[in-house]
Structures are given as structure tokens and as C-alpha cells.
Amino acid sequence: MTGNELIWRIAGGSGDGIDSTSQSFTKALMRAGLNVFTHRHYPSRIRGGHTYVEVRAAEHEVKSRGDGFNFLLALGDSFARNPQDEAYYGNEEAKPLSENLDDLREGGVIVYDEGLLDESEIDDFEERVEANDWHVYPMDLRGIAREHGREIMRNTAGVAVTAALLGMDTDPFEELMSDNMGGDILDDNLTVLEEAYETAADLDHSHDLEAPTADEHDEQQVLLNGSNALAYGALDEGCRFIAGYPMTPWTDVFTIMTQHLPEVGGISEQVEDEIAAASLAIGASHAGVKAMSGSSGGGFALMSEPLGLAEMTETPLVLVEAMRAGPSTGMPTKPEQADLEHILYTSQGDSNRVVFAPSTVAECYDQAREAFRVAYEYQIPAVIVIDQKLSGETINVPEAHFDREPNPDLGSTLTEEEIAEASHHASGKFNRFQHDPEDGVSPRSIPGQSDGRFLASGNEHTPQGHISEDPDNRVAQTDRRLRKLDAIREDLDDTELDRQTHYGPDDAEYGILTWGSQQSTVEEAVERLNDDGHSVKALGVSDLMPYPKADVTEFLESVEDCLVVEMNASAQFRGLTQKELGRFGEKLSSLLKYNGNPFEPAEIVEGFEVQVNGGTEPPTAQVRIEPAAGD
Amino acid sequence: MSKSFSAIDGADEEGIDREAFTPGIEPQATWCPGCGDFGVLKALKGAMPEIGRTPDETLLVTGIGCSGKLSSYFESYGFHSIHGRSLPVARAAKLANPGLEVIAAGGDGDGYGIGGNHFMHTARENHDMLYIVFNNEIFGLTKGQTSPTSPKGHKSKTQPHGSAKDPIRPLSMALSAGASYVARTAAVNPRQATEVLAEAMEHDGFAHVDFLTQCPTWNKDAKQYVPYTDVQQSDDYDFDVADRREAAEMMHETEDKLYEGEVLTGRFYVEEDRRSYGQEKRETGEMPEEPLAERYFDDDYEWERSYDLLDVHK
């Protein structure tokens, strides 16, 4: 699996253009026919501070960041010129080189900007280089950039050196630059590219690493992250209203929607807080527009109140929860899957919602569409759970994946003709919340329609919407609202989408259960484990509520033992599984990671091997094993 | 216009009377005898025929508390939301369908306490809607606790030593936050209240009406029972309602005098030439010209696909 692949890490300071440079580099590799995947790591700071982006490229499919990396481009942190070493963040100028050595594979290549970095400042550098057979190329990238353009173009110089050392030609980079810039800036960048390329091409190469090559892709590919795909899914499903308050990593979805909504005749509102944001989405939805809101952990906590209001008034609502590490403000730019219970159980009373956790960028699009369809069809809040990993990682997806018709259908909403035929009570109001529908859904009218008047109340209410504490009505209304989840489960099982995804051979002995964004990493680990002679399969769960009891039961019955892989410390998905299924406690152990970084496939491979051998000591200090209940 | 919103442009304005806004459910169920809330309901019903709106084209969004029950006793489309949140629900509904007559209502705890942040921002944005705050200087439905408008020194079970807080100055708050219409009226005079509500609904922008309501059960001491002076009707108060500074001065006067036993009411600020938020958004291209909600019922409307947005990702 890790044969002919490049994992290129570009490191530098926040604000130095690391992200945009890596995106261009990735796109060039994609255009060359390779499969690509990027992983972003950045601090919660605007300028300065150690940041890196990893770009994995191979001819074979790439599903995760992979293990470690084999090419380091260390640029130096131009904003880290802190005169006081003891100040809050200290002097981090050397970090782009020093902080990245632990994960560099044996035989890897290091290019560093000797204009800003000095290897002699790093302890044991020479010894480590020798021990790991690293190949080091100090290059004056800043000098080249200054001489032929401007200092900021040292990123371009770094890309050019990468290309020269890996035997790539510069055509795709030149093409991309021409797409993105013009005038003197373009000319200068092209000159810097050429000069740096030639300087590096003249060096004696001591390494074996070459850029992977590929035939052209059969299909046109697009490079997207999870936030983009989610937003496009929402737009295609007819969402034309968003309200939000900025919070990392939810802000990405919010800004993408804000950029496109006016173009397609929609409305975006940045409002005073998250309670208002979700309440606005409810107001727009009540008035007949497909609407969404969202936040990250702390902001979603504020939405607990309107979430319950949407449930009680049966107003369709779609919320996004882009998880980051918590509790409280936690680690703003680091991923975790620890908001699961918060999302499932927040809000008071016997409350219900649909919760989807897409696993990949492509699935973000699919699940966003499904969330809107289900929310409007069943008049229920739907939460789409992503995390900082899925939100920001990019991968190539066939363009055809997005080639589906838009769906502006408002779901179970009546036309005026249908309202005229519907039942009304004595005072002329429309019977909005009838007790009897088997699937729990009583169709609604929209304000402004003739004779469709009703009261939507967050208090318990009669079929006409009037506040009521009548015990019979209470039971009938509660039961009807709860019936929706069973109907939704059946509905979801009938859709063509592969909702719970199986990885590995059907007859495997051992199981791995996982959810959300960790699925593709698990998939890669499962392939590797089976190649290594283990007998493993995995089930990746994307529906969290209503829980896919039948699918998971079948899976767990078919394996001897099962490892649950998730990014939190309290084994929340394992807890949900045991609660929903009421058994399998003795079969489920956990592999947990909560240090701010997503799993790498090797950690799952090693964790699994420990479990198979009956051990409880984790393979590294960065993960934890939680044994099964019976152990 | 789409057939599914025929109520909005197809209304036959002749023959709308206040009875059209009376549902088959009586407020006596939850409002105490002598409650000022009856006065709000009466004035609102009276104002609707004045502005020529029908129940089908009106959306009333309320908060929680005795005031929140208004949506039960007023016949229109209704949304009984949660404590303090009527404004965000209402303003989005207005953006989604500007053809609707949107009214938000709540109490003094609801509007000036828990919903204070929304009040400030809705006023600032100048959404085209009427916002009625039932001000009886007390929490009624939770049985008589001190509210943001209770006078300093007010004693209750939650402030047994007497409140150490100065009361909120709601009119001044609305003005400084950016409301383009600010008035105070009182349940004890339904004629003025009706006029003010009608004028506020016809105003194109955010119209805040601080509606003094008496609470005969929990707040017998409040000055809301006292006969009031209409500042527009009295020669003593000659000021220009379009002048922000003069309006601010008059607001301070009524806000000071309320707790001294003299109640001044009327329109305190009317800004005619300011565009509402919806108009601003339409003019900058941030929002479509046609009511967004109608598109979902328009079979001929061509929905754009995100597929067309993918070029930048290639």
C-alpha cells in the first residue's frame, strides 16, 4: 500500500501561505492523474506558529493521511520573529524544521530554507540524519525569491525545488499559476519557479524517492474538502437560507454558503449568537424556505434550546455540528469526536432528531442532501456531524458524483388546493398536528397560504396548535412525534445510498467498528491487516440516530471480537452501541485517540494487533485501549 | 405571484373587521381578570383592519409568559416560540417572505431580559416588523418575580431586600440600538394603543412599542393604572419626533417619570427615510427581489445546481 507514494509535508508559519501553496501543489498532482489527499495541521493563531499541510499522492486510491511522510519542505516561520524568547509563544523560528522530524520516514528527503533556518541550531540533527538515512538539501529559497521576485514567493521556490528533486516537470505548476494570477505577479512567480527549479536540478541527488506517476484519470476529478461538499449538497437540495455565527471549524461551511447563496438567490445571515442563528433558521423554515444553521461544540450547546423548539413545533431544520476538541473552547483547530453524546441527547424532554455522520468528502455531499430530504419530509431537526478533520481535508472526487438534479421539494407541505380539502376545526383553523398519521407526519401549511392558519407552539398542543395539558392529547402527540424515527429508519434502509459501509472480507474473524470521519483510515488499516495475514473486516457507521440496529447487530454477531475506533476519551460510540443494542458488552473493546490528531492507519493496525494478542498496553502513548466490559 | 401564497396579494381588503382576528378560544382561560394583556389584544385586533391585512397574511411570533399567549387568542398564522427568542424567528420569516405582515410580541422579562441581545440587534438591523413588549414591570406567569423594568427597591421573593438594580430604559435602548420607530402606549387607553399599533405596522422598518400593561395579581403598585399623558396631544411636549436628540430627551423624561407616577406615552421617534434591512439587502444583491418562499411553489423556476460551481475545484 505504501509503495509508490509521495507524502509531502510543507511546514512553516501560519499566515505564510502554506495552505494555498499546498492546495496548488495538490491540484497539480491531481491534474497529473494521481489520487490525492491533504491533511491540515494548524495552531489557533493568525500569524506565526507552527503549521503544516501534508499532501499524499499515489496512483492507487488514497483514503487517509497515511503514516508519517517522506518529503519535508521546511520554509521557516516569517512571523515568528519574537525578540523575547520567554514571551507567550516563544521563538518558534526553527520549528518548521525541528518539529517535523519525528514523523519523517527512513530514507526521506528534507529541503529547508537556509535563508531562514539553520540546521546547526537543532540538537542531534546530524546524528538523526545519519541514523535515518535522510537526504538533506539546504536551499536559499528566500534568496532566490528576493532576487527574482518577492520574498513571499519562497513558497513557489520550494515547490519548484520539490519538483526538480522528484523528477517532475513544471508544466502543471505553471498552468495553475496562470489560472490563479496575472501581470507582474505571475511573471515574477514563473521566474522564481524556473530559477529555483534549475538550481535544484543541478544538485547531485542522493535520494531514491521519485514522484509517483499515473495514467490520466478516466473521469474528470475535482479537489474538494468536506465543508465544500456539504455546502454543495445543501445547495443542491434546495437550501436557500443560512444563519450562523463564526466558530472554527463550522465557519468553513458558513462562509462557503455565504459566498454562494446570493448567487443562487438565497439569503445568508451572520447574527448575534448561536441561539439566534438556529432560531432564524426555524423562522425561515416555518415561512417556507429550506434553511440551515450550525456551529461547533460550544456554539451548538447554545442551539440546544431552538433544537427542541424545532422538534416540538415540527419545523424542519438542518444543523451542522463541526466538532473540535472540547470541553468548553477546548482546542479550536484540532479534531475530536467527543461531541457525540452532546449531539444525540442535548435538549430537554423526550426529544428526537436525525443525526448523520458522513465519513468522506463525497459522503458529506450525499448526507447533506439526505439530511434536508429527511428533515423536510418528516418535519424534524436533522444534524450533520462532521469534525475538524473532515471539514478541512481535501481529496479528489469524480465530478460526476455531483451531477444530480436539484430538489426544491419542501416535503410534507400542502398546496393551497390541498389545504382547501383538508380538515379544519370550528374556528376555521387548519388541523396541523393530527394524532393519527402512521409515520408521525402531519402535513403543514405555509404562512400566507389561504385558510392554512395554525399555531406552531413550543408548548404541548392540540391538533390545531392550541396549548394543551390534556393527558390523552399529550400521549397521542408524544407517541406520534416518536413514531417518526421508526418511519425514518425504514425510509433510510430503502434508499439506494450505502449508508453503513462494510470494509474487508465478509467472512473475517475479527471486527472493527467505527463512525464518521475515521472510516476511511480504518478502511486502509483493514486492507493492511488482511495483507499481513489477519482476518479483519470493519463496519463504518454514518447513521447515528435513528441507530442502524439491524446492520450493527448482524455485523457484531458475525465476528468473534470487535475493536471500536473513535477520537474521544470516553468511548462514546461504543456506549451508544451497547445502549442501542442492549448487548455485546463483552465483545467490544475500544481504541481511543484524543491528542488533537486523527488516527493514522498504522496506529489502528498496531492497536488491533495488541487486542488480538490479548494485551491492554497501547502501542504508543498517543492512543488508549479500553478493554471490553467482561475483561 | 405563486398560487400558494394567494392570501398575500389576493386579499379582499373590504370587509376585514376585527372579528376576523378572533379565534374560537378565549383568553380568560389564562389571563387574570383586569389583566393589561386584554388591552394589547383589543388594540391589535382593532389595528388590523386599519392597515388592511387579513389573518392569512399575518404571522404573529410570540415568546413565553402571559404575553406569549397572545398568539393563542389572536387569529392569524402563529408561532409561539421560546422565552426571549421571538425576534430571531420573526425576522427570518420576514426575510423569507417579505409579503407577510410580521409581528413579534413578548413581555418585559422576555424582551428586555433574556432576549435583550436579540432586541438590540434586530433594532440595529431595522427589520421591517412590529415588536410589542408587554411591560408590566413584573414576571407574571412565574408568579411575581422582579423583572428588568421593576423599579429600584422592588421587593419580591427573588429580591427580598429590594432590587438594587436600576430598571431598563427600553425606549432609549431601542433608539440607541437603531430602531426607526419607537413608541410607548398603555392598555388603559385602547384608542391611542390601536392608533400606535396601526402606525407602527405601517412603518417601513423596525417599530418598537413599549406597551404598558397592568398586572392586577402580582404588581398592584405599578404605575400602569395611572392615567397617562399623550405627548403628541399635549402642548407641553412640543418636540420633533423625527429629531433623534429631541426624541432621546423625551424618552429620558418618560423613563424617569414612569417611576415617579407620571406616565407619558405616544410616538417618541419616527425615522421615515431609512431603508429597512430587507430593502438594503435587496439593493446590495444579498437577497432576491422576489419573496424567496414563493420559489418553492413555482414549478417554472429553474433551480441552479452546485455542479456549475465545481470549475474552481478542477
Q: Is the pLDDT of residue A84 over 60?
A: no
Contact A625, A618 (CB under 8 A): yes
The Cα of B218 is separated from the nearest Cα of chain A by a number of Å equal to: 23
What pLDDT is attached to residue B14?
Answer: 66
pTM value surpassing 0.80: yes
CB nearest A238 (choices: B79, B120, B303): B303
- Label residue A80 by pLDDT band (50, 70, 90): low
CA A301 from chain centre, in angstroms, equals 20
A77, A21, A83: which is closest to A48 by C-alpha?
A77
- Label residue A292 by pLDDT band (50, 70, 90): very high
What pLDDT is attached to residue A630?
Answer: 62
The Cα of A329 is separated from the nearest Cα of chain B by a number of Å equal to: 22
What pLDDT is attached to residue A46?
Answer: 76
B107, B34, B33: which is closest to B69 by C-alpha?
B107
Chain-wide mean pLDDT for chain A? Answer: 93
Q: Is the pLDDT of residue A88 over 50?
A: no
Q: How many Cα atoms within 13 Å fall on the side-chain side of residue A19?
A: 14
Q: Is the pLDDT of residue A498 over 80?
A: no
User: Going by DSSP bridges, is the β-strand pair A317-323/A291-295 parallel, antiparallel, or unpaired?
Assistant: parallel
- Label residue A82 by pLDDT band (50, 70, 90): low
The Cα of A203 is separated from the nearest Cα of chain B by a number of Å equal to: 33
What pLDDT is attached to residue A614?
Answer: 80
CA–CA distance, B170 with A510 (Å, rounded to integer):
66
- Label residue A150 by pLDDT band (50, 70, 90): very high
Comparing alpha-carbon positions, the chain A residue that sits nearest to B100 is: A448
Give the H or E element holding residue A281: helix A274-286
Q: What is the pLDDT of residues A508-519, one digit of tens each?
A: 999 999 999 999
Q: What is the pLDDT of residues A361-414, one digit of tens each?
A: 999 999 999 999 999 999 999 999 999 999 999 999 999 999 899 999 999 999
Q: Is the pLDDT of residue A85 over 90?
A: no
Q: What is the pLDDT of residues A265-285, one digit of tens each?
A: 999 999 999 999 999 999 999
CB contact under 8 A, B76 and A260: no
CB contact under 8 A, A240 and B292: yes
Tell me how far CA of residue B155 lies from CA of A101, A103, B164, B165, B215, in angstroms: 68, 67, 10, 11, 15
Please, what is the end-to-end C-alpha distance for chain B in angstroms? 39
Cell numbers that stand for A206 in this block: 542522493
Helices A274-286 and B86-96, packing angle to 10 deg:
50
Cell numbers that stand for A412 in this block: 410534507
The answer to which of A149-153, A216-220, A348-352, B60-64 has the lowest mean pLDDT is A216-220
Give the torsion sign (CA, B38, B44, B49, B53): negative
Residue pLDDT tens, chain B, 314 long: 456 788 887 655 667 899 999 987 888 878 999 999 999 999 999 999 999 999 999 999 999 999 999 999 999 999 999 999 999 999 999 999 999 999 999 999 999 999 999 999 999 999 999 999 999 999 999 999 999 999 999 999 999 999 999 999 999 999 999 999 999 999 999 999 999 999 999 999 999 999 999 999 999 877 778 889 999 999 999 999 999 999 999 999 999 999 998 999 999 999 999 999 999 999 999 999 999 999 999 999 999 988 889 999 99
Cell numbers that stand for A172 in this block: 502543471
Question: What are the chain A neighbours of B92 within 8 Å (beta carbons)?
Answer: 241, 243, 269, 279-284, 287, 291
B/e letters for A522-550, b = 16+ CB within 10 Å, e = fewer, are: bbbbbbbbbeeebebbbbbbbbbbbbbee
Q: What is the pLDDT of residues A538-558, one digit of tens each?
A: 999 999 999 999 999 999 999
Cell numbers that stand for A448 in this block: 400566507
CB contact under 8 A, A466 and B301: no
What pLDDT is attached to residue A340?
Answer: 98
CA–CA distance, A621 with A597 (Å, rounded to integer):
13
Residues 6+ apart with CB under 8 A from B168: B108, B112, B116, B148, B149
Asked if A465 has any chain B CB less than 8 Å from its own CB, the reply is: yes
Instruction: State what percent of residues in chain A have pLDDT above 90.
Output: 84
What pLDDT is attached to residue A86?
Answer: 46
Asked if A601 has any chain B CB less than 8 Å from its own CB, the reply is: no
A601, A600, A581, A611: which is closest to A511 by C-alpha?
A611
Q: In this predicted model, which residue has the larger pLDDT, B90 or A87?
A: B90
Q: What is the pLDDT of residues A160-212, one digit of tens each?
A: 999 999 999 999 999 999 988 999 999 999 999 999 999 999 998 899 999 99
CA–CA distance, B141 with A467 (Å, rounded to integer):
15
CB contact under 8 A, A410 and B281: no
Q: What is the pLDDT of residues A470-487, one digit of tens each?
A: 999 999 999 999 999 999
> Taking a contact as any Cβ pair under 8 Å apart, which residues of chain A between 387 and 406 contact chain B?
399, 402-406
What pLDDT is attached to residue B1?
Answer: 41
